[in-house]
Amino acid sequence: MIGDAHLTPQPPREAERRPGRKQISPSRKCSKMAAVMALAVLRRQMTRSPQWAYAGPVQRRKWKLKVIAELESRVMAEPIPLPADPMELKDLEYRPVKVRGHFDHSKELYIMPRTMVDPVREAREAGRMSSSTESGAHVVTPLHCSDLGVTILVNRGFVPRKKVNPETRQKGQVLGEVDLVGIVRLTENRKPFVPENNPEKNHWYYRDLEAMAKITGADPIFIDADFQSTTPGGPIGGQTRVTLRNEHMQYIITWYGLCAATLYLWFQKFVRRAPGV
């Protein structure tokens, strides 16, 4: 009979052997174990391959230094005649070119706000919290190239805000044929937080060659006139910035900081708060 059956005695449960000890459920044990194991794997990877944390920024820094060197060598090259085909200019950005023609001052465009490129002043004021730079505009004027039969856009250079009106700089409104050397520039995409161009008010905030060419009747070819083109009273030529800001050490430090913060938050969420820890 069932009531008289002899049952095999079972060993006492852990709780019965150790009364008063807090028990951890299997699911909670698994959560804790998974978190600890994941942290151990991450720590082992960081120890085994420390270069993983800085390989990307370092490689990018090397690439950027190479680009800077290429730009500087291109800007210092001997000027070549301006190609008449805009398609040929795609591989010539920052290359000096020679042009000859006459300006149409009645169709000036103004890229603003701009500050004057002045390497001596910028080197002197490097690291200062404030700067003595004056805000103004770049004067962009159509130039009809008589030998090529095309009209291009020339950034003649910087004028302070008080001289944006051409009536205030009559000596700079050059007449007749001129010979210029300029740096080829391509169209520019609008950057975040930069306002939209306003052709109706003649307020331009970035180089949109198609729009500028359309409103002036020029071809979508754009050059920055060199400093030798400077005229009395402005514009002041040589307003091409070719040096990229090299901030990769800051990038590396920032990247390390983000990694450390992420690891700390991950540890807080998955290890310290794991059940039973």
10-residue mean pLDDT profile of the chain (277 residues): values are 48 50 53 59 56 64 81 90 88 95 98 89 66 86 94 97 96 95 96 95 97 97 97 94 57 57 66 58
Whether residue 103 lies inside any domain: the answer is yes
Q: Which domain range does residue 210 map to?
A: 77-118+134-229
If one counts the domains in the chain, the total is: 1
Whether residue 45 lies inside any domain: the answer is no
Whether residue 10 lies inside any domain: the answer is no
Return the pLDDT at 70: 84
Alpha-carbon separation of residue 133 from 57, 116, 117, 120, 229 (angstroms)? 32, 7, 9, 12, 22
Whether residue 264 lies inside any domain: the answer is no
The rounded distance, in Å, linking the Cα atoms of 248 and 62 is 9
The rounded distance, in Å, linking the Cα atoms of 230 and 226 is 8
pTM for this entry: 0.67
55-75 vs 248-267: helix axis angle to the nearest 10? Answer: 160
The rounded distance, in Å, linking the Cα atoms of 78 and 82 is 12
Return the pLDDT at 68: 79
**C-alpha angle 10-12-15 in degrees, rounded to nearest 5:** 145
Coil, helix or strand at residue 124: helix
Whether residue 188 lies inside any domain: the answer is yes
Whether residue 194 lies inside any domain: the answer is yes
Coil, helix or strand at residue 213: helix
Does an H or E element contain 183, and which? strand 178-185
Whether residue 83 lies inside any domain: the answer is yes
Return the pLDDT at 85: 83
Strand partners, 224: 155, 183
Whether residue 110 lies inside any domain: the answer is yes
C-alpha closest to that of 54 among 245, 248, 246, 247: 248
